[in-house]
């Protein structure tokens, strides 16, 4: 799997500039669309002026960015509702990833709900990378919440495509006392082996055979809530990776959606999420 087209949504703030910088650092030979959405409903004369002004600014920005590497950067100004336009442009341009900056440093889930970033992450069918820290290189340490769900595996494959040489730390969180204990519950050894198998399968499908480039991966099985485990890990990693849905029997789709939402809002590191 290689990144051929990435859409970077910009609201012209410093946070969006960080998102573009990170995209340029982790993508190679990639087409990048730098999109700004001009909100619909403005007076026509003002809309035309803003469109011309922003289009020129982004075109200069794209030209400068493209000159610094092997990527092709194209600027685009579109009118409409921000999150629906971002989602539809990603589909129409066949972008494999949407990259966004953190919305105004809102590090609380209650304030994050309803923002453009939250709506895009919730409604798109593409992986979404939220950039929260300035970085000009590849990710070195990546933490993955891998539970075997299609969403988590897809998120992992995207992370491998972006930074295949990173150190991957996989977290498998299980409640200390299962709500519904079963006779077939996996032991730690079984969980460890199954999780490593899932990771290696994802790595092979993305990078081919291992050869001399065997992935650097550690697996940590913890008896605590997924939120506590991931929030703690996010303080010591460059990128947190997770799916938006889980197959864990003690969580409903709504609850795991809330977990992804809280990590997007509260984690201090960059966050990559993916739907199934």
CA distance 63 to 73: 7
Contacts of 262 (CB under 8 A, 6+ apart): 109, 227, 231
Does residue 241 lie within any of the structural domains? yes
How many separate domains does the chain show?
2
| 10-14, 133-137, 139-143: range with highest mean pLDDT | 139-143
Per-residue pLDDT reduced to its tens digit, 148-188: 788 988 999 999 999 988 999 998 887 665 555 544 455 77
Least confident of 4-13, 210-219, 248-257: 248-257
Domain end marker among 131, 150, 171: 131
Q: Is the pLDDT of residue 205 over 50?
A: yes
126 and 149 belong to one structural domain: no
pLDDT at residue 67 in the model: 60
Name every residue whose Cβ is closer than 8 Å to that of residue 83 and which is 6 or more positions away in sequence: 116, 119, 120, 123
The boundaries of the domain holding residue 92 are: 5-131
- Specify the pTM: 0.86
For the cut 80, the answer to whether the pLDDT of residue 193 exceeds it is yes
Residue 245 is assigned to a structural domain of this protein: yes
In the chain, pLDDT over 90 holds for what percent of residues? 39
CB within 8 Å of 245: residues ≥ 6 apart? 149, 150, 151, 253, 256, 257, 275, 276
Where among 131, 162, 193 does a domain terminate?
131
On whether residue 136 sits in a domain, the answer given is: no
Q: Which residues contact 203 (CB under 8 A, 6 or more apart)?
A: 160, 164, 210, 215
The better pLDDT of the pair 252, 58 is held by 58
**What is the reported pLDDT for 256?**
42
Q: Do 34 and 113 sit in the same domain of this protein?
A: yes
| Of 75, 79, 77, nearest in space to 39 by CA | 79
Q: Judge whether 127 lies within some domain.
A: yes
182 and 88 within one domain: no
Residue 111: pLDDT band (50, 70, 90) is low
Quote the pLDDT of residue 134: 87
Mean pLDDT over each residue of the chain, to the nearest integer: 83
């Amino acid at each position: 799997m290689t990144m051929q087209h990435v859409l970077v949504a910009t609201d012209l703030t410093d946070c969006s500039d960080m998102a573009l910088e990170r995209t340029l650092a982790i993508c190679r030979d990639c087409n990048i669309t730098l999109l700004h959405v001009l909100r619909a409903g403005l007076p026509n004369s003002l809309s035309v002026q803003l469109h011309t002004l922003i289009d020129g600014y982004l075109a200069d920005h794209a030209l400068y960015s493209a000159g610094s590497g092997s990527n092709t950067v194209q600027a685009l100004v579109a009118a409409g509702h921000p999150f629906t336009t971002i989602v539809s442009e990603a589909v129409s341009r066949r972008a494999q990833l949407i990259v966004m900056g953190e919305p105004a440093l809102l590090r609380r889930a209650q304030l994050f709900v309803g923002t453009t970033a939250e709506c895009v992450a919730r409604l798109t069918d593409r992986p979404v990378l939220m950039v929260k820290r300035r970085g000009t290189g590849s990710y070195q340490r990546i933490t993955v919440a891998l539970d075997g769900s299609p969403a988590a595996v897809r998120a992992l494959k995207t992370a491998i495509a972006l930074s295949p040489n990173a150190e991957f730390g996989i977290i498998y969180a299980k409640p200390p006392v299962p709500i519904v204990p079963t006779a077939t519950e996996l032991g730690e050894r079984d969980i460890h082996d199954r999780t490593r198998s899932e990771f290696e399968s994802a790595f092979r499908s993305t990078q081919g055979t291992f050869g001399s480039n065997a992935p650097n991966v550690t697996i940590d099985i913890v008896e605590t809530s997924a939120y506590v485990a991931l929030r703690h890990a996010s303080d010591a990693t460059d990128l947190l990776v997770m799916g938006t849905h889980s197959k864990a029997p003690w969580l409903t789709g709504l609850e795991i959606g809330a977990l992804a939402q809280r990590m997007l809002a509260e984690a201090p590191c960059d966050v990559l999420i993916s739907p199934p």
